[in-house]
Amino acid sequence: MKIFGIFGDPIEHSLSPVMQNAALRALGENACYHAFRVSSADLVDAILGAAAMGFSGLNLTIPLKEKALELDFLHPDPLAQAIGAVNTVSFGPRAIAGYNTDGWGALLALQDAGVEIRGKSVLIVGAGGAARAIAYTLEQEGADISIANRSLKRAEELAALVGAEGFCLCDLARLAPQADIIINCTSVGMRAGDARLLERRLLQRDQAVFDIVYNRDTQLLKDARAAGAVAVDGVMMLVYQGAKALQIWTGKQAPVDVMERAVREALAARQAGVF
């Protein structure tokens, strides 16, 4: 049996196992996919342990995507190297390879929602691994990027990667109304009771608001809908990045419809208190 998994901390919220196990069954693979809580300090041992135990592939999530690029035994492909983050790992006979499928997933999620990218101003909130992938991908698609982050230094570092300008979160009240597309790449909204990322009054009817948080209907998305903006949740980004990872591991075309259905059914069950 092939074994796949996802490493992260926290990891309890992840629906990747539900999604990927549904996909593996649909593909007829004799395989399973599990979630493992792994801290940054334990990443080296965890990946080498997975390799030693014969794992076929891994996904990495918060806070491991950028840390993985520092590992001398992991060989990133050119895209992951350029982005500066790894979210997918494959174990070959001679090397452990790293990839990044987050940007691909975000782009397809936006396109699914009918959001035009080229020539649009995109405000990305956050500067972690997912933000890096999305900023790089959308810049390649012709978007005009701005980065806002709690740490101005990290915002400026990411901005330099994509020829953009970096700002601190204190600038959001000025930046948000001017943006065509606003993307939350932080974990704000993942938990009930999280503070608002943006005040509702800052959102406009002609904007698109994309929250990569997928485990709940966030306040940001509720506010976006109330403002008449296009609201895009993180489910399809999860699905498309996971589909790309599955293709890397198995060489097969992933059943995207099966994966989306599994995630949305699990979310509905979780909201009903049965999952």
Task: Please indicate whether residue 222 is annotated as part of the active site.
Answer: no
**Residue 163 pairs with which residues in a beta bridge?**
none
Question: CA dist 151 to 5, 126, 143, 170, 223, Å?
Answer: 31, 9, 23, 11, 25
Q: Do residues 69 and 80 lie in contact, with contact meaning Cβ atoms separated by under 8 Å?
A: yes
SS3 260: helix
Q: Which of 2, 65, 120, 244 is catalytic?
A: 65
Q: How many CB atoms lie within 10 A of CB 227?
A: 17
Distances (CA, A) of 73 to 3, 40, 97, 119, 209: 21, 16, 9, 39, 38
DSSP lists the bridge partners of residue 59 as 6, 88
- For the chain, helix (H) and strand (E) counts, in that order, are 11, 12
Q: How many residues does the chain have?
A: 275
Would you please indicate which residues are annotated as catalytic (active-site) residues? 65
